[in-house]
């Protein structure tokens, strides 16, 4: 089985396994106690904190171990907002942040605060100037991920941190995807990360709060982890997380170069091997092992199932794989195609032979899914002057785009096709299809049911 979903969770690093098993015998006692077993546990905890702090580039007393990366994000945002409540209750986030950041933003809005979402371009990149424009006198905190979890685009953290520093606003960085590859550059104020992203055990997160940042922990606290992560520390898992972070960092430069070559191979060859594919994410400023592409006329869930049958574990941001039938908020913010979306995220040690096998299997797999889908004939319900009306109400991704593609040649150049759809994915996929196929997307308008999307035939 070729596991190509390291951006969700990396396989446990051998060093993490060794450290976990060894520390089970030494790190089980309460590190707050003064007897021998407690002192042993405290030594392990302190050593892990120092090792992790060195990797992050912070002081050990600035780093807190949490129960997950999500918990680190929630604690960091809540504590920073509370610490600066006299300044105001305005939060800035990018539109492509991890859901843990966006859920914290929703909670702030529900409590009467305000949130500004900074948009991104089609590569998924945020503009530091947009952050500068979003800053206000009542801005308490800004958030920006170091690299995107779905498309791999690396963000201009250092430039945004400088903009925020000049305004006196702290910046929280979600470094979950990038920390295993290297420290986050820039004068950031808070940082969150998750051990299972770099080959550590699940259930361990990091929260760093720089000295001088106003921070007020929320909820019940105790004496552990500076009051920021109450409860008994999972010392064996923490030790394993710190050990694996140190290990992957030692291998990072060489492995990053190798994985970049493999993902560049995928980026270059997939569009040549599979027709009607859009490769998304920044072509250069991206994580070493992540490449994402979307296939027209493909049901994302069916494609993932077929690839699983071929022994490939990949993930998707397609609305077709979602119980809500809405596309990924990342792909939506970028304005790129969402249907048939595939994210390949190679773990350290991924074999070149498996990448080649993936490239060999993919064309036939996509073709089979498209054939199985049947590409049904469009249902033309009306023709008014030069407008062809296509009814795809009640039909889910990717049927509306398939029906549009089948009838676009039936109208003269300059005429309109009006696609009726009640699938939220159509709002993203129809404009993306137009850009890929050289047609003009005119816009949308209300309909009796769903929404009408207008496309003008260019050629």
The DSSP result for 343-394, as a single string, is EEEPPTT--HHHHHHHHHHHHHHHHHHHHHH--PPP-EEEEETTEEEEE-TT
The whole-angstrom separation of Cα 235 and Cα 46 is 10
d(CA 296, CA 277): 6
Which residue, 228, 230, 238, 223, is CA-closest to 32? 223
Please name the residues in contact with 90: beta carbons below 8 A apart, sequence gap of 6 or more.
Answer: 113, 114, 115, 116, 136, 138, 139, 140
Please enumerate in sequence order all residues whose Cβ is within 8 A of that of 299, keeping only pairs 6 or more positions apart, or say none: 320, 339, 340, 369, 373, 397, 398
Name the nearest CA neighbour of 93 among 102, 85, 84.
102
Distance CA 340, CA 368 (A): 13
Task: With beta carbons less than 8 A apart as the criterion, state whether 295 and 339 touch.
Answer: yes
One of 58, 143, 295, 320 is an active-site residue; which one? 320
CA distances 121 to 7, 81, 155, 331, Å, are: 22, 28, 11, 11
Instruction: List, in order, residues 6 or more apart from 168 with CB less than 8 Å away.
Output: none
Is-catalytic flag, 295?
no
- Contact by Cβ (8 Å): 136, 92: no
Distance of CA 132 to the CA centre of its chain: 23
Residues catalogued as catalytic: 320
């Amino acid at each position: 089985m070729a596991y190509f979903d390291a951006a969700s969770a990396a396989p446990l690093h051998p060093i993490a396994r060794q450290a976990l098993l060894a520390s089970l015998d030494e790190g089980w006692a309460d590190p707050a106690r003064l007897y021998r077993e407690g002192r042993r546990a405290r030594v392990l905890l302190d050593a892990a904190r120092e090792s992790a702090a060195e990797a992050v580039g912070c002081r050990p007393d600035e780093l807190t171990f949490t129960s997950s990366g999500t918990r680190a994000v929630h604690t960091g945002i809540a504590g920073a907002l509370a610490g600066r409540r006299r300044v105001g209750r305005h939060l800035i986030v990018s539109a492509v942040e991890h859901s843990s950041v966006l859920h914290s933003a929703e909670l702030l809005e529900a409590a009467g605060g305000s949130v500004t979402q900074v948009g991104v371009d089609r590569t998924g990149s945020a503009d530091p100037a947009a952050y500068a424009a979003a800053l206000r006198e009542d801005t308490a905190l800004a958030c920006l991920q170091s690299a995107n979890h779905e498309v791999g685009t690396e963000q201009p953290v250092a430039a945004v941190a400088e903009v925020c520093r000049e305004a006196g606003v702290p910046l929280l960085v979600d470094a979950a995807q990038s920390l295993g590859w290297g420290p986050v550059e820039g004068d950031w104020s808070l940082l969150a990360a998750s051990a299972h992203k770099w080959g550590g055990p699940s259930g361990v997160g990091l929260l760093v709060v720089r000295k001088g940042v106003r921070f007020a922990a929320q909820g019940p606290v105790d004496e552990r982890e500076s009051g920021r992560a109450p409860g008994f520390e999972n010392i064996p898992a923490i030790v394993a997380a710190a050990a694996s972070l140190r290990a992957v960092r030692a291998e990072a430069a060489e492995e990053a170069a190798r994985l970049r070559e493999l993902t560049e191979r995928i980026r270059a060859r997939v569009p040549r091997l599979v027709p009607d594919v859009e490769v998304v994410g920044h072509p250069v400023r991206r994580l070493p092992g992540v490449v994402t592409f979307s296939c027209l006329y493909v049901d994302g869930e069916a494609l993932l199932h077929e690839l699983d049958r071929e022994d490939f574990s990949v993930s998707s941001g397609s609305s077709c794989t979602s119980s809500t039938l809405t596309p990924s908020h990342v792909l939506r913010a970028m304005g790129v195609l969402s249907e048939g979306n595939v994210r390949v995220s190679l773990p350290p040690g991924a074999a070149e032979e498996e990448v080649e096998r993936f490239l060999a299997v993919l064309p036939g797999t996509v073709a089979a899914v498209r054939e199985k889908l049947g590409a049904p004939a469009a249902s033309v319900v009306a023709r008014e002057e030069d407008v062809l009306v296509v009814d795809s109400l009640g039909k889910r991704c990717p049927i509306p785009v398939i029906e549009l593609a089948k009838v676009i040649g039936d109208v003269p150049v300059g005429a309109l096709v009006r696609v009726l759809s009640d699938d939220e994915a159509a709002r993203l996929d129809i404009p993306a299809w137009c850009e890929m196929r050289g047609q003009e997307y005119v816009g949308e308008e209300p309909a009796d049911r769903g929404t009408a999307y207008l496309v003008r035939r260019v050629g």
